[in-house]
Amino acid sequence: MTRNRTGASRMNDADATLAELKKRVREFRDRRQWERFHTPKNLSMAIAVEAAELMEQFQWLAPDEAWELREDEGRLEMIGEELADIIIYALSFANSLEIDVTTAVLDKLAKNAEKYPERDYRGRSSWLESKEGGEH
């Protein structure tokens, strides 16, 4: 936990659990009675819309320029907000279907680890390999 300017303690990634963030997102929705808008279908659209807004930040950049963003405070703040929007809707989606995000992520990483063994994919893009593999 860290203290912000006003001396109040703030959670950060080191101590916030997924359940804690999901709770904050649920409270925000419930206080505005937005359940009827936050259907799984609408939330899947919302995640995609926010993902596009994040992508828009990188759309015309050469790969090298994308790294330079790290020095640009204003842009980094905008990028952080777009990422937050994605996470917020993703957690709201998880709330709506009662999905345990941690379990889903660890299961998927385990599945991917089998699909892309380290010895075969070290330094090689999963995509090209899997497509080639699929054609042979």
Task: Map the footprint of its own copies across residues 29-48, applying CB under 8 A.
Answer: 31-34, 36-37, 39-42, 44-48
For CA atoms 104, 107, 111, 117, the dihedral sign is positive
- Alpha-carbon torsion 112, 114, 118, 119, what sign? negative
List 7, 9, 12, 73, residue binding its own copies (CB under 8 A): 12
Provide, rounded to whole angstroms, the least separation between the CB of residue 35 and its own copies. 9
The binder of its own copies chosen from 5, 115, 123, 136 (CB under 8 A): 123
Q: Does 121 bind its own copies (CB under 8 A)?
A: yes
What part of residues 51-110 is at the interface with its own copies (CB under 8 A)?
Answer: 51-63, 66-67, 69-70, 74, 76, 79-81, 83-88, 90, 93-94, 97-109
Strand partners, 2: 10
Question: Cβ of residue 134: shortest distance to its own copies, in angstroms?
Answer: 11
User: Taking the complex as a whole, how short is the minimal distance between the CB of residue 19 and its own copies, in angstroms?
Assistant: 4
Angstrom distances, CA of residue 91 to CA of 35, 38, 46, 51:
14, 11, 12, 14
Does 115 help bind its own copies (rule: CB under 8 A)?
no
Cβ 97 to its own copies shortest distance, Å? 6
CA distance 44 to 38: 9
Distance of CA 100 to the CA centre of its chain: 15
Give, to the nearest 10 degrees, the angle between helix 18-31 and helix 73-97.
Answer: 80
- Say whether residue 26 binds its own copies (CB under 8 A): no
